[in-house]
Amino acid sequence: MRIIDAQVHIWASGTPSGDHRQVSSFTVDELLVEMAEAGVDGAVIHPPVSWDPDANALAEAAAARYPGRFAVLGQVPLDTPETSRALLEGWRDRPGQCGLRYPLIRADQKDWPFDGTLDWLWPVAEAEGLPVATMAWRFLPEFARIAERHPQLRLIIDHCGLIRHEKGAAAFSNIDAVTDLARLPNVALKATGAPGYSQQGYPFRDIHDGLHRLYDAFGPDRFFWGTDITRMPCSWTQCITLFTQELPWLHGAALERVMGGAVCDWIGWHRP
């Protein structure tokens, strides 16, 4: 079974935000060592532009060196639409680029899903065939409207769609709203960062039922395993075995889809 991580970061400068490893750089070579140790075949790099402005170029360089190992969900500036529209023309011709990803967690971005700042992005991404991933938990109703208005636009909910910085039952308090989005065929969910929502140690049993509900809603073709490894409270191997050994309802062909096949298909990453 090939294992593809749906979210990793590399960076060369800056101070990482949140709970990420507080190191000034985390290189593709360091990432590859950890991937080899855990048995991870490939990964989707999400450039952390918020702390390393050059992270997009760094990710593309990694994908150019290792096209079978890395794809990229990159970024263009959201508040300069005229310039950014031009950048997105032929975006897939850039090394590794398979789509876009925006956390939208900075204080100055909190109103962007509602105030029109992002209105230009959705039709352009739809026309260019670029999936867009985002931390949608804070604007799930608006996220649903975006998906409905742009049915050919593939959207990805980051980090299970759960309440950021909460743990245990509190993290899953919005799960009904998240699972409701599964009715929209152009919406998928990254089950990334799952151990970070647990109040327990491995195998994180307090999140199993919630993961099961999310999987039942989205199914194996729209439910993607991944880690966001640089902020996980456990090893990469434990992030893997949580899904491959500890969830009895996930097995066989469905497990293979969740662990890598589905995310490659969703973003159009045709690995050499």
pLDDT digits 0-9 by tens, 190-238: 999 999 999 999 999 999 999 999 999 999 999 999 999 999 999 999 9
How does pLDDT run across 35-57, given as a tens digit for each residue? 999 999 999 999 999 999 999 99
What pLDDT sits at residue 27?
Answer: 97
Average pLDDT over residues 145-152: 98
Percent of the chain with pLDDT over 90: 96
What pLDDT sits at residue 191?
Answer: 98
**Distance between CA atoms of 14 and 271, rounded to whole angstroms?**
31
Which three-class secondary structure state does DSSP give residue 99?
Answer: strand
What pLDDT sits at residue 207?
Answer: 98
Q: What is the pTM of this model?
A: 0.97
Percent of the chain with pLDDT over 70: 100
List C-alpha distances in Å: 127 to 6, 85, 147, 154: 23, 11, 14, 11
- Nearest partner of 63 among 94, 40, 39, judged by Cα: 94
What pLDDT sits at residue 18?
Answer: 83
Q: Quick check: 6 pLDDT over 90?
A: yes
